[in-house]
């Protein structure tokens, strides 16, 4: 770390020189395979010529025009295309610069919509534990992983959380047809305990991201949440910061379920690492109500920059032209099978899970009893460091229930070829060995 810059810790990493496709090079010329697309961001890979040319073209015109001073054709066209990617009925877009800002936007929009409808007593957001929704204080308030949220608890209104489906901690079988209903019932108990008339929304990742290690919910769970929200008059908000952009095999993970949310939160793969970009895509009537009722009290200076929209449009072109949603399913299936092969070789791989190219594996002391590795072993950091030495970058978390569990996100760019999957799995196996 330099004298003038700081991040989360004193840990140092190589200095980046350049990046292209699924690879990054440091200033010493060492090449790294981007095994987790950064933090599940670089879905279309690095330095894609189409996106660079879209950006260059827009840069010649206008990079920034304050959205309250000018409308922008490219921003409007981008909003329209994004709305078309969302489930029917979600057709109003608010652009921001990242996931946390998008989470804040959804929370404030939900709250203002409910005030506009004459229900000002609804303010509680029910999220899950574990979960991660961002770094700003509002997003931290709904984050259900204690180490991220606890230090700030006295600084904000406590928002209740309900425990999410979680394989090993709860000891439930995610493939058992009754598991979904069990968790829906837990959610209902939480809503009832809070008093349904005080609850504003349920906020969940449709498929878990880094906090759960790519946990796919059990059958019927998402549909059950939708039914609960309808029963008690709550909004259902999907945080698709990590699952969006095609990563799970459909543009939004919402498409995997028979449950349409009232809002979708998007970021990461939306800008694809080319620009900081996020968005909320909302039900039209919610936005209309808020605008009719004095306007939306919200906004960020850099929101809806024409340059960001040009990059986002370029990324969307690539996702469509290269059919990356279908590719995520196909390549994801290959990676999943290879991870299962590794699991049969290495007994310390306790689980492999996920959907499309949102995949993870988990290290365990005992796969049968699902016992996690001792914290002191620091296995997640060790494997990451060995992988670095082998030229592979892999995103890890030790946050199951905020305290235990070593999982690794195997989420290469959606553009990865079969040969590159071979290379990735070879490097991973070498690192595990
Ligand atoms: N929600 C989810 C599900 C995320 O994974 C993240 C980032 N990891 C965020 C929100 C916050 O996004 P950002 O870091 O862009 O603010």
pLDDT in tens, 170-192: 778 888 999 999 999 999 999 99
Tell me whether residue 146 is exposed, middle or buried, using C-beta atoms within 10 angstroms of its C-beta: 0 to 12, 13 to 18, 19 or more: middle
Residue 402 has pLDDT above 50, yes or no: no
Question: What spacing in Å lies between the alpha carbon of 366 and ligand 1's midpoint?
Answer: 31
Ligand 1: atom nearest CA of 210 is 5
CA distance 25 to 393: 11
CA 228 – CA 198 distance, rounded (Å): 14
- At 73, which helix (H) or strand (E)? helix 73-85
The contacts of residue 6 (CB under 8 Å, 6+ apart) are: none
Q: Has residue 388 got a pLDDT over 80?
A: yes
Tens-digit pLDDT profile for residues 276-313: 999 999 999 999 999 999 999 999 999 999 999 999 99
The Å distance, Cα 268 to ligand 1 centre, comes to 7
Protein residues with CB under 6 Å of any ligand 1 atom: 39, 98-100, 103, 132-135, 205, 209-210, 239, 241-242, 267
Neighbours of 150 (CB within 10 A): 12
- If you measure from the C-alpha of residue 309 to the centroid of ligand 1, how many angstroms do you get, rounded to a whole number? 19
The tokens describing 98, both together, are 């990242």
Among protein residues, the one with the nearest Cα to ligand 1's atom 7 is 134
Q: Which two tokens stand for residue 406?
A: 């070593």
| Res 2: pLDDT | 74
- Residue 342 is predicted with a pLDDT of 97
Quote the ligand 1 centre to 306 CA distance (angstroms).
Answer: 23
Which position has the higher pLDDT, 148 or 224?
224
Average pLDDT, the chain: 93
- Counting ligand 1 atoms within 8 A of each CB, the residue from 98, 134, 136, 240 with the most, and so the one to mutate, is 134
Sign of CA dihedral 415, 419, 420, 426: positive
Tokens representing 121 are 């007593």
Q: How confident is the model at residue 377 (pLDDT cuts 50, 70, 90)?
A: confident
* pLDDT level of residue 242 (50, 70, 90 thresholds): very high
Q: How far is the CA of 29 from the centre of ligand 1 (A)?
A: 31
Containing H/E element for 330? helix 324-345
- ipTM of the prediction: 0.99
User: Mind listing the domains of the chain with CATH numbers?
Assistant: 16-47+323-432 (3.90.1150.10), 52-321 (3.40.640.10)
Q: How far is the CA of 133 from the centre of ligand 1 (A)?
A: 5
Q: Is 327 helix (H, G, I), strand (E, B) or coil?
A: helix
List the residue whose alpha carbon is closest to atom 8 of ligand 1. 134
Residue 113 pLDDT level (bands cut at 50, 70, 90): very high
User: pLDDT tens across 12-42, in order?
Assistant: 899 999 999 999 999 999 999 999 999 999 9
In whole angstroms, what is the distance from residue 232 CA to residue 230 CA?
6
- Looking at residue 302, what is its pLDDT? 95
* Helices 284-292, 99-116: crossing angle, 10 deg rounding: 70
Specify the residue with its C-alpha closest to ligand 1, atom 12: 99
pLDDT of residue 173: 86
Torsion of CA 323, 326, 328, 334, to 10 degrees: -130
What confidence category does residue 263 fall into, taking pLDDT thresholds of 50, 70 and 90? very high
Residue 354: φ, ψ to 5°:
130, -170
Residue 164 confidence class, pLDDT cut points 50, 70, 90 = low
Give pLDDT tens digits for 223-239. Answer: 999 999 999 999 999 99
Q: How confident is the model at residue 168 (pLDDT cuts 50, 70, 90)?
A: low
Query: In sequence order, what are the residues at sequence separation of 6 or more whose Cβ sits closer than 8 angstroms to the Cβ of residue 37?
Result: 43, 269, 273, 411, 412, 413
Distance CA 190, CA 194 (A): 6
Is-cis flag, bond preceding 130, omega within 30? yes
Query: What whole-number distance in Å separates Cα of residue 356 and Cα of residue 414?
Result: 9
Q: Pick the closest to residue 249 from 414, 431, 61 (CA basis).
A: 414
Could you tell me the pTM of the whole model? 0.97
Considering only CA atoms, which residue is closest to atom 13 of ligand 1?
99
């Amino acid at each position: 770390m330099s004298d003038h810059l700081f991040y989360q810790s004193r840990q140092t990493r190589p200095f980046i020189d350049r990046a292209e496709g699924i690879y990054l090079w440091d200033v010493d010329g060492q090449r790294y395979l981007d095994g987790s697309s950064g933090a599940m961001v670089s879905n279309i890979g690095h330095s894609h010529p189409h996106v660079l040319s879209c950006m260059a073209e827009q840069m010649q015109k206008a990079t920034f025009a304050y959205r309250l001073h000018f409308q922008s054709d490219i921003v409007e066209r981008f909003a329209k295309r994004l709305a078309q990617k969302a489930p029917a009925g979600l057709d109003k877009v608010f652009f921001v610069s990242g996931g946390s800002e998008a989470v804040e936007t959804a929370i404030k929009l939900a709250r203002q919509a409910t005030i506009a409808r004459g229900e000002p007593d609804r303010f509680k957001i029910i999220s899950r534990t574990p979960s991660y929704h961002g770094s700003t204080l509002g997003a931290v308030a709904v984050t259900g992983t204690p180490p991220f949220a606890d230090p700030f608890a006295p600084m904000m209104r406590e928002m209740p959380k309900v425990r999410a489906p979680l394989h090993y901690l709860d000891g439930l079988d995610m493939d058992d047809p009754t598991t979904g209903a069990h968790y829906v019932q837990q959610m209902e108990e939480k809503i009832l305990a809070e008093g349904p008339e005080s609850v504003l929304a349920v906020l969940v990742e449709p498929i878990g991201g880094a906090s759960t290690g790519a946990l796919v919910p059990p059958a019927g769970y998402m549909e059950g949440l939708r039914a609960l929200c309808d029963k008690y008059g709550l909004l259902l908000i999907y945080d698709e910061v990590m699952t969006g952009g095609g990563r799970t095999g459909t543009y939004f993970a919402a498409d995997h379920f028979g449950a349409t949310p009232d809002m979708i939160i998007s970021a990461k793969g939306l800008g694809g690492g080319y620009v900081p970009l996020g968005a909320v895509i909302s039900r039209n009537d919610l936005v209309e109500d808020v605008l009719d009722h004095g306007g939306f009290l919200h906004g960020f200076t850099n929101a809806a920059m024409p340059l960001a929209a040009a990059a986002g449009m370029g990324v969307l072109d690539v996702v469509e032209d290269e059919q990356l949603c279908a590719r995520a399913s196909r390549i994801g299936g290959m990676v999943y099978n290879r991870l299962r092969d590794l699991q049969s070789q290495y007994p310390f791989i306790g689980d492999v899970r996920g959907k499309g190219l949102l995949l993870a594996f988990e290290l365990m002391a005992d796969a049968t009893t699902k016992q996690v590795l001792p914290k002191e072993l620091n296995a997640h950091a060790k494997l990451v460091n060995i992988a670095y030495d082998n030229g592979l970058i892999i995103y890890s978390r030790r946050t199951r229930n905020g305290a235990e569990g070593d999982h690794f996100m195997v989420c290469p760019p959606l553009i990865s070829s079969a040969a590159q999957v071979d290379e990735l799995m070879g490097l991973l196996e070498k690192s595990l060995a």
